[in-house]
Structure 1
Amino acid sequence: MTKVVEMKNITKVFPGTIANDDVNFDLEKGETHVLLGENGAGKTTLMNILYGLYQQEKGEIYINGKLAQINNPNDAIKLGIGMVHQHFMLVHNFTVAENIILGNEPKKGMKIDMKKAIDDVVEVSKKYGFKIDPNAIIEDITVGQQQKVEILKALYRGAEILILDEPTAVLTPQEIEELGVIIDNLKAQGKSVILITHKLKEVMKMSDRVTIIRRGKVTGIVKTKETNIDQLAELMVGRKVNLVINKSKAKMGNEVLSISKLNVNDHRNLPAVKDLSLSVKAGEVLGIAGVDGNGQSELVEAITGLRKAVSGTIKIDGKDIFNKSPRAVMEAGVGHVPEDRHKRGLILKYSLFENAVLGFHNKKPYSKGIVMDYKEIRKHTKDLIEQFDVRTPNDEVMASALSGGNQQKLIVAREISKEPALQIVCQPTRGLDVGAIEYIHKRIIDERDKGKAVLLVSLELDEIMALSDRIAVMYDGQVVDILDRAEATEQKLGILMAGGSLKDEKKEVKDLE
């Protein structure tokens, strides 16, 4: 087959670390090639070099057999390379069409021809099988639709080679299936796709070949048909990985979180949480399952004091925390791993040691009145970095310098170290590799076994089913049912997540009999 990309002996060095060490990678026309590796393995760095965001110290890049000098993204776009980043680069108060044409606007005289722009967007959407409203405002559409806008933006600019960085990290199971169909459509049109991921299920479903990178070096190149999940996990992490969580039966204690008749509005002041009641006990993991956008975010924001609720009660160990400030909620014994690590979890321009004590930086031993005790702070940070295997040259680098997965590890480490009575964990393994997922899942179960209450919110159904003792399903702002883990199946949860009822399922079974 024709090679559309060849990267030969690529080396990239950052201060204190070799991100890519003599890496070879190639992409054939019409294939989906996965770049697989742990957090900080060098996958995104390699693709940022291909897209012109970084320049390599050593090595050559050939596009369609010709040596290419890619100094910036404009060079890459001219060569037919498009990249969809893990954290989308969209203007939130612009429409879909305005975002897609941005920088490439069709003109009518001196003005932008918006009619032509919308027609162009509709045409390119139809061509690749996308269903999207060109007039919708970005902040009003789902994350899955925002990702489609990013892909359309690249296609509108004439991309023949598409790089997707962690494309399934923020998608629901249904959206992941849709993405698979989109990738098949792109390949049918002769496009070539590079996926950066560490989700092994999707690797097996979506790819033709896999290149595995570990600590900056290629450890294997395999055809997907000739491998399996266990082999890929071992190549990626360098050891056997236990993908099944071993946990004993939960020993439930007193009620820690009690919510009654809670009502919360969203950012448009429309009801997002409706008359919701819920409780979480000490020594259990209560998982909240649901398709994104059914009130999970607003529920968590109301509990943690980040959003004012309209009415209802929220209590921790009997203490009222309804509409209290985030600090008061935290001091009442609530830890919070937020779903958006950049917006809520870290201050990206602060060092790791500053981020490691956020929220309790004013407490002993890290604070002596108005003076910070940096010796204690650094000691605490080094402990967390070691325990949670945060890949970093040192604790002085800015949080923005870490890979997404290592940022996530730092947040989880910090929140667990607070030892709260209730740990609220949202998308805990978003953007993590199998080795890190294995470790964080173990830590969540450890917290449960220490008698802590854990409220787990995740879009990963596998994760909800693996960790939870009880599962509450949210649909349209309400808890439609709570199942014991023993009786929960993917099918039952899927019915509830789509707004159905298990009574209907039983009725269907009876009818069949």
Structure 2
Amino acid sequence: MAEQHDIVLQLKGLTKRFGEFVANDHIDLELRKGEVLALLGENGAGKSTLMNMVFGLYQPEEGEIWVKGQQLTMDTPSVAIEHGIGMVHQHFKLVPPFTVTENIILGMETKKGLRLDKKSAAARIQELSDMYKLNLKPHARIDSISVGMQQRVEIMKILYRGADILIFDEPTAVLTPQEISELLGIFRKLTKEGKSIIVITHKLKEIMEAADRCTVIRRGKVIDTLIVKDTTPQQLAERMVGHNVKLTVDKEDAKPAETMLHVQDIWAKDDSGHDMLKGLSFEVKAGEIVGIAGVDGNGQTELVEAISGMRPTQKGKIQLGSDELTNRNPRDVSEIGVGHIPQDRHKHGLVLDFTIEENSVLKSYFKSPWTKNGIIQSDIIKEETERYVKDYDIRTPGTGVLARSLSGGNQQKIIIAREIERKPRLLIAAQPTRGLDVGAISFVHKQLIAERDAGKGVLLVSFELEEIMNVADRILVIFNGQIVGETTPKQTNEQELGLMMAGKLERGFAHV
């Protein structure tokens, strides 16, 4: 048991309800000075809700929050910041055209006379950057630096405000292996300086490497707090879900058949009008999973949008079998036989204020059996959605609830069910397991492999190299809008892929 003076954050009986749903049920938790505490749990277990109460974004119905021996009412984030608590959210909150310094001082600008004193702020940022080995350039624009560096700007924002309790929500979701290793090194540097860290993550490997203790939450309740060096990833996974979980993917070798998707010399621009895809070509065959590995921002989004009809191309050709997809609209592409699990489930996958039933037929409501003589067949839609809920383990109080009321993992399962049940010839899965727990990840991977084994073509776009290595049969590496390498999981490793993703290594094409 930690001495009382070692405890910098203590939660006592913290409870949060949303209507009748209990998100956090009398949670007790302690964070000690100079430690990394991992918060582990399934999607919807209540981890982010709990930390949002600590940061003042939500208020509890019951319970107490103590910071450094003082009981506090966290009714706004400013109270948390005032008492040394900072939070780095999964989706960065940066202004791309602003500099590193401008983003960091936003909301707490200091002035010299009537003018902003950016010079002094930049000097302080450089000092902190050197202290914690963040390697930031205060005058660089956000839109000119890597995703990993953008995350360091988020870290700097809370250090600049004087935080010594740092909360990270899924901090490695879009980082390369090298950037993940560097981030974990920053964690060690921060704790050595006396900072205390809570990290919400589903990545058991990172918990084993970086955390001192791990608190497991299941369905809103604390199940256990474990000393990480005395446990294993398998034990953590089992505590999280309550039963045995396989951490590796079982699959037989692929049996590729005819070419399903043919992408030839395509060029496409990003939203700013810059060339993002630059003569990119590849194929996906029926009965194989092709993984696209790359750091975010190298053309993956534009590639998926070009194939799915969401983005025009300036040059090149896209075909599904003998059917032309080039510059067709999304409905045409869908009807021709392309299923699409989008990277951003909120923006492109769901209408959050529609029910689960409405979202389940979002792409086919106008067709039989969902519509008859121009009239929506609500009973048939409800019956089919109930089958989706059962077959895809969608945890919901009912099919008539709004999509926004579900956890991210269950929202993702709605999309997966809808896309697979439409029986596409090609399934595009873009970041299909981002932010999902190990149980949900295992489920998604099984669905992708089942589609492959049914003779479909699967294009998997993922920042998760472990996912690419486990699930893909063939791997293409994208860098700066071009394919710079082709290999297989048996012929490469995560470090080599990471170097290719960073543009530091080109691999000869190993055609399979």
TM-score, normalised relative to structure 1: 0.93
**Equivalent of 1:270 in 248, 252, 274:** 274
**Equivalent of 2:166 in 152, 156, 162:** 162
CA deviation after TM superposition for structure 1 residue 216, in Å: 0.9
**Equivalent of 1:352 in 348, 353, 356:** 356
Report matched runs for 1:353-372 at 5 Å.
353-368=357-372, 370-372=374-376
Matched, 1:66 2:70: yes
Q: 1:393 to 1:91 in 2, by over 3 A?
A: farther
**Equivalent of 1:258 in 243, 257, 262:** 262
Report matched runs for 1:339-418 at 5 Å.
339-368=343-372, 370-418=374-422
CA deviation after TM superposition for structure 1 residue 301, in Å: 1.5
CA deviation after TM superposition for structure 1 residue 457, in Å: 1.0
Q: 1:123 to 1:376 in 2, by over 3 A?
A: farther
Q: 1:231 to 1:251 in 2, by over 3 A?
A: same
Q: 1:159 to 1:484 in 2, by over 3 A?
A: closer
Q: What is residue 126 of structure 2 aligned with on the other side?
A: 122
What letter matches 1:15 in structure 2? G
CA deviation after TM superposition for structure 1 residue 322, in Å: 0.6
Report matched runs for 1:30-429 at 5 Å.
30-368=34-372, 370-429=374-433
CA deviation after TM superposition for structure 1 residue 239, in Å: 0.5
Q: 1:397 to 1:117 in 2, by over 3 A?
A: farther
CA deviation after TM superposition for structure 1 residue 485, in Å: 4.0
Task: Structure 1: state its 5+ residue gaps.
Answer: 505-513
What letter matches 1:208 in structure 2? D
Stretch moving more, 103-112 or 450-459: 103-112
Kindly, what percent of the aligned residue pairs are identical? Answer: 51
CA deviation after TM superposition for structure 1 residue 58, in Å: 1.6
Cα-to-partner distance string for 1:106-147 (whole Å, 9 max, x where unaligned) = 123344333333333333333322223334443444332332
Q: What is residue 510 of structure 1 aligned with on the other side?
A: none
Q: 1:102 to 1:391 in 2, by over 3 A?
A: farther
CA deviation after TM superposition for structure 1 residue 231, in Å: 0.4
Contact 1:422 / 1:453 at 8 angstroms: preserved in 2? yes
Task: Structure 2: state its 5+ residue gaps.
Answer: none
Cα-to-partner distance string for 1:144-203 (whole Å, 9 max, x where unaligned) = 233222222222222111111111122222221121112112112211000011110111
Q: How many residues align?
A: 505
C-alpha separation in 1, matches of 2:346 and 2:128: 32
Q: What is residue 22 of structure 1 aligned with on the other side?
A: 26
C-alpha separation in 2, matches of 1:119 and 1:406: 45
Contact 2:267 / 2:313 at 8 angstroms: preserved in 1? yes
CA deviation after TM superposition for structure 1 residue 215, in Å: 0.7
CA deviation after TM superposition for structure 1 residue 502, in Å: 4.3
What letter matches 1:440 in structure 2? V
Q: SS state of the match for residue 94, structure 1?
A: coil
RMSD, aligned CA: 2.1
CA deviation after TM superposition for structure 1 residue 372, in Å: 3.0
Stretch moving more, 184-193 or 402-411: 402-411
C-alpha separation in 1, matches of 2:334 and 2:207: 39
Q: What is residue 451 of structure 1 aligned with on the other side?
A: 455
Q: What is residue 477 of structure 1 aligned with on the other side?
A: 481
What letter matches 2:426 in structure 1? L
Q: 1:137 to 1:353 in 2, by over 3 A?
A: farther
What letter matches 1:162 in structure 2? L
CA deviation after TM superposition for structure 1 residue 433, in Å: 0.6
C-alpha separation in 1, matches of 2:95 and 2:355: 28
Q: 1:147 to 1:413 in 2, by over 3 A?
A: farther
